[in-house]
C-alpha cells in the first residue's frame, strides 16, 4: 500500500516540539514524505536550528510515528539543512500564536 504525502504528514503531526508547543508539520519542518508499495517510507525534514539539542530524539519520534501506520515496514528520516527553515514555512496559526 502506498501512502500519500498528506497521510504521512498526518501521522507525523502527532509529534510536538516541546519548546514551542506546535507539531512538526504545522511548524513547516517536514519537507517531504514518500512511500513505496513495499511499506518503506522516507521522510525529509529539517529542524529550526542546527544546534537543536533534541535533534536525535525528534527524528526518532518522527520515525516512530510513521512506523505506527499500518503496513509501514520501515521509515527513514533524513534531516536536511537546505532550504534553511524560517517562520514563513510555518502554518498561519503558528505564526499568529507566536506573534510573527
Partner 1 sequence: MSSISQDFAPPFKLIAPFFILGSFFYLISSLYVFSFNIEDLSFLNPEVLGFVHLFLLGFVMMIIFGAMAQLVPVVLEVGHFGVELFYAIWPLLLIGSVLMVFGFLFSPALLPYGGVIVLVSMMIFVMEIFMTIFKVEKLNLVMTSVLISNTFLFFGIIFGLLIALAYAGTINLDITSLLRGHVYLVVAGYIIVTIMGLSVVLVPMFTLSHGFSMRPLEIAIGLMTTGVVFVVISSMFNIIILEYLGYFLSAISLGFYFYLIYIIYDTRPRKENDVYAISLMFSYIAMLVSIVLGVLYFIMGSEELLLACGWVLFYGFFAFLITGHIYKIVPFLVWFERFSPLVGKQKVPMLADMVPYKSSQAQFIFSALGVVVVTIAILTKSDMLIGAGASFLVVGAVAFIRSLFYMINFE
Our CB check for partner 1 shows the closer of 5 and 68 to be 68
Residues that bind partner 1 (CB under 8 A): 14, 16, 18-21, 48-57, 61, 64-65, 78-81, 84-87, 95, 98-100
| Among 54, 5, 55, CA closest to 30 | 5
CB of 4 to partner 1, least distance (A): 23
CB of 80 to partner 1, least distance (A): 8
Is residue 42 within 8 Å of residue 78, measured between CB atoms? yes
Q: Cα(first)–Cα(last) distance of the chain, in Å?
A: 40
Amino acid at each position: 500500500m502506498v501512502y500519500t504525502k498528506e497521510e504521512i504528514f498526518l501521522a507525523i503531526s502527532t509529534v510536538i516540539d516541546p519548546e514551542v508547543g506546535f507539531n512538526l508539520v504545522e511548524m513547516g519542518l517536514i519537507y517531504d514524505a514518500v512511500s513505496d508499495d513495499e511499506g518503506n517510507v522516507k521522510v525529509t525534514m529539517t529542524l529550526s536550528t542546527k544546534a537543536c539539542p533534541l535533534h536525535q530524539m525528534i527524528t526518532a519520534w518522527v520515525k516512530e510515528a510513521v512506523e505506527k501506520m499500518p503496513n509501514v515496514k520501515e521509515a527513514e528520516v533524513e534531516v536536511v539543512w537546505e532550504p534553511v527553515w524560517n517562520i514563513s514555512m510555518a502554518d498561519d496559526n503558528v505564526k499568529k500564536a507566536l506573534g510573527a
